[in-house]
Every structure is written in structure tokens, then in C-alpha cells.
Structure 1
Amino acid sequence: MKLARRTLISAFAALTATAALGAPAALAQTKLSWAHVYEVTEPFHTESLWAAEEIKKRTDGRYEIQVYPASQLGKEADINQGLTLGTVDIIISGSSFAAREFAPIGVTYYPYIFRNPEHLLAYTKSDVFKALAAGYEEESGHHIVAVTYYGTRHTTANKPVKTCADLNGVKMRVPDVPAYLAMPQACGANTAPIAFAEVYLALQNGTVEAQENPLTTIEAKKFYEVQSHIALTGHITDHLNTIVSQSRWASLSDEDKAIFTEVMQEAATRATKIVQEREAALVDTFRKQGIDVSEVDKPSFEKAVQENAPLDKYGYRQEDYDAIRAIQ
């Protein structure tokens, strides 16, 4: 991060804090904006609303937080930029965007780095998480407060997918994010970065033959209506960061920082539980609807990724990967 930008943000934070100290008690309430791209029915929004109210309660009304869902303040790239521009105070966003500021943190999206959601949650309490979050904060200035489990990404197609080789030559929609592309491309799929809103139609008309997303997204977007098979590839244990801007974090007292941290981490835990419960129920739900939901030969996928999509290709560090894999 450029020194000039950091100095400007620090000066803004100092002025904000000074103004708050000199304000009359009746004017002491601080209004904050919290933005994300998820729908109002999703736990990432409902639990953010809970957190906003809880912070207001625990700070005796000193903070009023307005939560803006469904890209109301812009797409994910926009709200990340908004942290620096000062147009938003808090966001929920994936590590793929944090990696634009600090590439090593993107290692958490590397296929098969996590064994399961529990492994991800253990990582969020580890020294390697603290080190990666600190690296991101050093580069961007912004502070990662909490991590929420988003869902495990699986593959849908109109044919059975049991091994990595089954994806060879398949036209597959994948987000245009390097770590997301790693597994499909390592297996020989022909990837296409179709806009998310257009994926259903693209699957329906055969523009693409497969896609990958968590089960909750497959349900919400009704991809199961135009795909006959769900392969439990489990290639990425997806997750979201709750991030507070540098200027806002610097303006908080130590007491308020503790309150924000406790509440936001509790909100992340609540949302994670909801997602896990929904995922567990969906396998049976899909099977009852006649969808083929099957396990895959995961070692074949992992082997292809390690051989064809090495860590250093993405700017990730072997020591971070090894430390995360060693977490029990």
C-alpha cells in the first residue's frame, strides 16, 4: 500500500476520533455502513443484521450500523475498494479479493487445502491465520475481524463425474478467479467465466455443460433443474471475511474494538451453523428429487491439482500451505 494513502487514511481516522471526543453527548452516535453482495434471505445478511443491532445494544447506542445487502453499494470489487475510499466501513467478502492486496492469503482457496469445514474453522484460530491476516492488514490497512463458512464447492454436470479425467474436455462455467479455476483446468475442463446471473440459462441451452458451487447455491439458483448429476468434488471449502476499514478500525477505542470483534465473530459462528445445517439436509433433498448425487475419487483430483496447478503459480507460499494442512 502506498505510504501517502496510508498517511491520509490515518489522518482521517485521527480527525474522526477528535471530532467524536469534542461532540456533545446528544450527537455522539456514529453511523456506519456495512455492505455485502448476498441476498436478504441468506445467513450472511440476516446475521449481519443481528450483529448490527447487537453492537448498538452493547455500545449503548453509540453506533448505528446500516447493512446494505445484494450489491446495493456495488459489486464485490467495488465494496472492497470502498473500504479505502471511505464509502463503506465494513464488508463481507471472499479471500480471493483480499488476495488482490496480499496474494498469500489466497492460499485458503487452493483446492483441497482444507479437509472439511471443521478444519477451516480450526484454521481461523491458528497462528498461520493470524500471520496471513496481519499480512493483509499490512498491505491494505484493513482489519479482518471474523471468518464465516460459505459452503463446500461441488460440481454439477449432465453426465456422471467420478474422477478428474471425467471433466476432460467438458465445457464448465467457473468464476474468473485463479484458485477457482485451478481444479477444473487441472482436470482438462474448458472453463468459461459466464456472469453468475446467466449461469442457469447457459446450462439450459448447452453453452456450458457443467458448473461448480456449494449445494446451497445449487439449490437457491435451481441449477439442479438443468443438471442431472451432482458430484461431491468438495474441491474448495469456501469462506468469507468480515473486514473493517482501516480508518474505522483506527477510530475505535480498545473497548469498542473488543465489542466489534466479539459480536462479529459470534455472527460468523451463527451463519456458519446455518450453512452447515442446510448443506447436510440438501444431499437427501436432491436425491429425493431424482438427482444423482455421488462421491468421487478425490485423490485423482488432488493429484491433478498438485501436478498441473502448483502453489507458486498463484503467488502462494509452501510454508503457509504446510502449516494449514498440519492443523488438526
Structure 2
Amino acid sequence: MSRKYAVLASALGALVLACAPASAQTALKWAHVYETSEPFHTESVWAAEEIAKRTDGRYTVDVFPASQLGKESDINQGLTLGTVDIIISGSSFAAREYAPIGVTYYPFIFRDAAHLLNYTKSDTYKALTKGYEEKSGHHITATTYYGTRHTTSNRPIAKCADMAGLKIRVPDVPAYLAMPRACGANTAPIAFAEVYLALQNGTVEAQENPLTTIEAKKFYEVQKHIVLTGHIVDHLNTIVSKSRWASLSDEDKQIFTEVMQEAAARATEKIVAREKELVQVFKDRGLTVTEVDRSDFENNVIEKVTFEEFGYNKADWEAIRAIQ
């Protein structure tokens, strides 16, 4: 080879090496159904930046909030179809792939946020998330406290029987339906993004969600009463698709896991703090906030709803209830 061509080959080789990092960059899609003001979104954006930073730019992550890539059922399906790489979603939807994990949505299984967080460190949590991964192929990296679910309504509710005939929007998930149906309510499975309008036009007269969600979605504008039923201590999982997780090196799996768990802890801290403030905030906005005897609601659920009809294992329920 002549000196001229040797120099040219060397220059081309250097150019290829210089371009390698850019060509090796992988763009990922992270989807959820929550508002941009909520910690689930702000901490997802933080996590996206951290993943890019800690992988030296080998991965970039675009976060799509507020159902931009579809309803919660759609983005769960997207994990399998390959249209999304990462989602934030509840175990209620994971239960469509692996029913036993849905026991965590059975009403009154958790006492409070601390109980839920202790569960995420337990052998029962490891077994249920492993069961989901074996069935679906997708990997749960972290769990975030979503908030304790309460009921809002345009009619006063003081006890379970007061919900008889109430038209209430509830997610189309078995465990969410348990408490309202045990109290005689008529449930309607309206998509999350459409709940405000449904309340406003009277399609339904009630809904149930954490106080932070009631604030973020402005449900307080179209509801008169907040009833502190506290029937579900809710949570969300950060899930990486089967194909994406399989493509990661062990080192990158560790980075993704650490970042996502840090983001979950940051979001949880913000949710817990905001919940403590919101009862007074809603009172100041003119809503009636009612404390109720939760045992009345719990007893009706236990009496009228069985674990077996949902595909849950009573042993899992007992193990979780026993966690201190």
C-alpha cells in the first residue's frame, strides 16, 4: 500500500472511531398516564437524565406523559409489542398477565405508606414480581407509593351503605371494583383521561383516587365531597420490557435499577409530604372532607368479596398483612 493510501486509510479509521459513540446511542421510550406536574413524571424525567449521564450517553430516554402513547392498558401492551421500552403502571394491570400480583390492590391490605414500602423489601414482593416476570417476560425494577385512594362524590357519604346506587368511575380492574360494589355502588370503567369530563357532565357522580391525583387532575372542581375511605394504599411499578431488559449488559441493568429505585424513592417522598397538606387545602377550597369508620367499609368487603374470584392467593394476603 502506498503512503498516500495508508494515510487515507488511517484517517478513515479515525473518523469511524470518532463516530462510534453516536452510532451506538440507543433511544428509549418511557410512557405513563400521569400529568407533567406530578412526581411520577418529574422523577421519570430526572431518571431519564441520570440514565444518559451514568451510561455516558449510550442511552437517551424520552418520557411521554399524560397518556400520549395511549391509555394504561395500551402502554402495558406496548411493552410486548415493542412500542415502548419502559412504563410506570400499577400492579392491577400487571395482574392481567399474572393474577396473584393483584392481591396488593385488595382493599385494606396495607395500613399505610410505610407498610407498603416494607412490603417492597419482603420475600412476598420478590416472589410476586418474579412470578410476573416469568409470565410476562417484563422486569419490574422499582415500586413507587402512588397515594392512598379516597372517594369523591357529589352526594354525602358517611358509611358504606350510603354508596348504594352511586354512579362511580372506577378503573376496569377487579380489585378496584371490590369496595364500591361491596357497598352497592354502580361502577363505570371510564378511561383515566376522560374522568374529569364524565364528572362534569354527570355521566358519573363520583370517583376514587389519592388526594394528590384529585389535585393534579382538578377533580375538586367538579366534586363537592371528599370521603376519606382510604380503601387502597396504592402503588406504581417501573417496568422495563422483556426485549429491552434482555438487551442490557449486567452493568447497565444495575445502572437502570439503581436510577429507577432512586427516582421511585424521590417521588414517594414528595407524595407522602403533599398528602399531609391536602386535606386542609381542599377544605379551604370549599369542599366537605369527611372522616369515616373504615372498618365499616372493610367488613363489607371481607363479607361480600372473595380472593378466589380475582385469582389471588389468601396466603399472599395474610403474609402481606403480617408485615410490620
The TM-score, its normalising length taken from structure 1, stands at: 0.88
Counterpart Cα distance in 2 of 1:62 and 1:151:
34
Higher mean C-alpha displacement, 213-222 vs 255-264: 213-222
Structure 2: which amino acid aligns with 1:177? V
1:300 counterpart = 2:290: no
| Consecutive unaligned residues in structure 1, runs of 5 or more | 1-22
2:143 equivalent in structure 1: 147
* Partner-residue secondary structure (3-state), 1:60: coil
Select 1:28's aligned residue among 20, 24, 27: 24
Deviations along 1:208-266, one digit per CA (max 9) or x if unpaired, are: 33221111222233322332221100011111110011111112121111111111000
Distance 1:100 1:40, change over 3 A: same
Counterpart Cα distance in 1 of 2:70 and 2:202:
30
Deviation at 1:136, TM superposition (A): 0.3
* Partner-residue secondary structure (3-state), 2:93: helix
Q: How does 1:74-223 map to 2 (within 5 A)?
A: 74-223=70-219
Select 1:67's aligned residue among 63, 75, 80: 63
Structure 1: which amino acid aligns with 2:216? A
* Partner-residue secondary structure (3-state), 1:307: helix
1:14 equivalent in structure 2: none
1:273 counterpart = 2:269: yes
Deviation at 1:186, TM superposition (A): 0.3
Distance 1:58 1:196, change over 3 A: closer
Counterpart Cα distance in 1 of 2:216 and 2:27:
33
Deviations along 1:105-139, one digit per CA (max 9) or x if unpaired, are: 01111100110111111111111000000000000
Q: How many residues align?
A: 306
Higher mean C-alpha displacement, 233-242 vs 77-86: 77-86
Counterpart Cα distance in 1 of 2:73 and 2:261:
23
Structure 1: which amino acid aligns with 2:170? V
Higher mean C-alpha displacement, 312-321 vs 210-219: 210-219
Deviation at 1:25, TM superposition (A): 4.6
1:228 equivalent in structure 2: 224
Does the aligned pair in 1 maintain the 2:220–2:287 contact within 8 Å? yes
Select 2:253's aligned residue among 254, 257, 260: 257
Structure 2: which amino acid aligns with 1:185? R
* Partner-residue secondary structure (3-state), 2:162: helix
1:56 counterpart = 2:52: yes
Counterpart Cα distance in 2 of 1:210 and 1:25:
53
2:243 equivalent in structure 1: 247
* Partner-residue secondary structure (3-state), 1:272: helix
Structure 1: which amino acid aligns with 2:95? A
Does the aligned pair in 1 maintain the 2:93–2:173 contact within 8 Å? no
Identity of aligned residues (%): 75
Structure 2: which amino acid aligns with 1:226? V
* Partner-residue secondary structure (3-state), 2:263: helix
| Consecutive unaligned residues in structure 2, runs of 5 or more | 1-18
The TM-score, its normalising length taken from structure 2, stands at: 0.90
Counterpart Cα distance in 1 of 2:82 and 2:215:
36
Deviation at 1:73, TM superposition (A): 2.1
Larger CA Rg, structure 1 vs 2 = 2
Distance 1:236 1:60, change over 3 A: same
Deviations along 1:268-320, one digit per CA (max 9) or x if unpaired, are: 11111111222111101111223221211111111111111111110000011
1:312 counterpart = 2:295: no
Structure 1: which amino acid aligns with 2:90? G
Counterpart Cα distance in 2 of 1:149 and 1:195:
21
Counterpart Cα distance in 1 of 2:219 and 2:65:
23
Deviation at 1:199, TM superposition (A): 3.2
CA RMSD in angstroms, aligned pairs only: 1.7
1:237 counterpart = 2:236: no
* Partner-residue secondary structure (3-state), 1:290: coil
Counterpart Cα distance in 2 of 1:74 and 1:283:
31
Higher mean C-alpha displacement, 260-269 vs 201-210: 201-210
Runs (4 or more) in structure 1 with deviation over 3 Å come to 23-26, 194-207
Structure 2: which amino acid aligns with 1:144? I
Counterpart Cα distance in 2 of 1:175 and 1:297:
24
Structure 2: which amino acid aligns with 1:122? N
